[in-house]
Chain A
Amino acid sequence: MKLLLVSALILCSSVVSAQGKYFTRDGHVKFFSATSVEDIEARNHKLTCVLDAASGQFEFAALMKSFEFKKPLMEEHFNENFVESNKYPKGTFKGSVQGLDGIDMANIPSGTNVVAAGKLEIHGVVKELELAATIESRDGGYAIHSTFKIVPEDYNIEIPNTVRDNIAKVVDVTVEAQLKAFNR
Chain B
Amino acid sequence: MRLILVFAFLAFALSSTGQDDLLDLLGEDEPTQDFATAGFKTTRIINGHSFELNSHGVLDFKISHRFGRLNTGAYNLFGLDNAFMRIGLDYGVTEWLNVGIGRSGGAIKYYDSFVKARILRQQTGMKNVPVSLLWVTDLNIDANQVIDTSLLPYPFTNRMYYTNQIIVGRKFNDAISLQFMPSLVHRNFVRTKAESNDVIVLGVGGRVKLTRRVAINMEYHYVLPDQLDPKYSNSLSVGFDIETGGHVFQLHFTNSRGMAESVFLTETDGKWDAGDIHFGFNVSRVFTVHRPKRK
Within 8 A of A (CB), among B1-40: 2-3, 6-7, 10-11, 14, 18, 20-23, 25-26, 29-30, 32, 34, 37-38
Nearest-Cβ distance from residue B7 to partner chain A, whole angstroms: 7
CA distance A18 to B30 in the complex (A): 19
Q: Does A160 contact B (CB under 8 A)?
A: yes
Nearest-Cβ distance from residue B105 to partner chain A, whole angstroms: 28
Q: Which residue on chain A has the smallest CB distance to residue B295? A: A68
Partner-binding segment picked from A55-63, A102-110, A136-144, A170-178: A55-63
Q: A11-B10, A21-B22, A81-B212 are in contact. Are A73 and B30 (CB under 8 A)?
A: no
Q: Does B213 contact A (CB under 8 A)?
A: yes
CB within 8 A of A162: which of B20, B58, B244?
Answer: B244
Q: Does A147 contact B (CB under 8 A)?
A: no
CB within 8 A of B18: which of A16, A72, A158?
Answer: A16
CA distance A127 to B286 in the complex (A): 36
Q: Does A50 contact B (CB under 8 A)?
A: yes
Q: Does B288 contact A (CB under 8 A)?
A: yes
Q: Does A166 contact B (CB under 8 A)?
A: yes
Number of A-B contacts (CB under 8 A): 89
A23 pairs with B25, CB closer than 8 A: yes
Q: A70-B291, A77-B245 are in contact. Are A65 and B32 (CB under 8 A)?
A: yes
B58 pairs with A48, CB closer than 8 A: no
Per-position binary interface string of chain B over residues 242-267, scored 1 when its CB falls under 8 Å from any chain A CB and 0 otherwise: 01111000000000000000000000
CA distance A71 to B60 in the complex (A): 13
Nearest-Cβ distance from residue A71 to partner chain B, whole angstroms: 5
Within 8 Å CB of B14, what residues of A?
A: 10, 14
Nearest-Cβ distance from residue A163 to partner chain B, whole angstroms: 4
Within 8 A of A (CB), among B48-81: 55-58
A57 pairs with B7, CB closer than 8 A: no
CA distance A35 to B22 in the complex (A): 37
B7 pairs with A162, CB closer than 8 A: no
Q: A3-B2, A7-B6, A160-B213 are in contact. Are A80 and B25 (CB under 8 A)?
A: no
Q: Does A32 contact B (CB under 8 A)?
A: no
Within 8 Å CB of B21, what residues of A?
A: 16
Q: Does A66 contact B (CB under 8 A)?
A: yes
CA distance A16 to B29 in the complex (A): 19
CB within 8 A of A59: which of B23, B55, B58, B286?
Answer: B23
Within 8 A of A (CB), among B228-284: 243-246
A50 pairs with B212, CB closer than 8 A: no
CA distance A3 to B244 in the complex (A): 67
Q: Give the size range of B's interface with the partner.
A: 35 or more
Q: Does B191 contact A (CB under 8 A)?
A: no
A70 pairs with B288, CB closer than 8 A: yes
A76 pairs with B38, CB closer than 8 A: yes
Q: A7-B6, A63-B32, A73-B286 are in contact. Are A86 and B174 (CB under 8 A)?
A: yes
CB within 8 A of A16: which of B25, B213, B243, B286?
Answer: B25
Q: Does A30 contact B (CB under 8 A)?
A: no
Q: Does A145 contact B (CB under 8 A)?
A: no
B34 pairs with A65, CB closer than 8 A: yes
Q: Does B294 contact A (CB under 8 A)?
A: yes
Within 8 A of B (CB), among A96-119: none
Within 8 Å CB of B25, what residues of A?
A: 16, 18, 21, 23, 50, 182
CB within 8 A of A94: which of B2, B20, B212, B291?
Answer: B20
Within 8 A of B (CB), among A1-52: 2-3, 6-7, 10-11, 14-16, 18, 21, 23, 25, 48, 50, 52
Within 8 A of B (CB), among A146-170: 158, 160, 162-163, 166
Which B residues contact A (CB, under 8 angstroms)? 2-3, 6-7, 10-11, 14, 18, 20-23, 25-26, 29-30, 32, 34, 37-38, 55-58, 174, 212-213, 243-246, 286, 288, 291, 294
Add 5 more A-B contacts to A6-B7, A63-B29 (CB < 8 A). Answer: A6-B6, A7-B6, A59-B23, A81-B243, A163-B244
Q: Can you give 27 contacting A-B residue pairs, CB < 8 Å? A: A2-B3, A3-B3, A6-B7, A7-B6, A7-B10, A10-B7, A10-B10, A14-B18, A23-B26, A25-B30, A48-B23, A48-B29, A50-B25, A59-B23, A60-B23, A61-B23, A66-B32, A80-B37, A80-B174, A80-B212, A81-B213, A81-B243, A86-B174, A87-B174, A94-B23, A182-B25, A182-B26
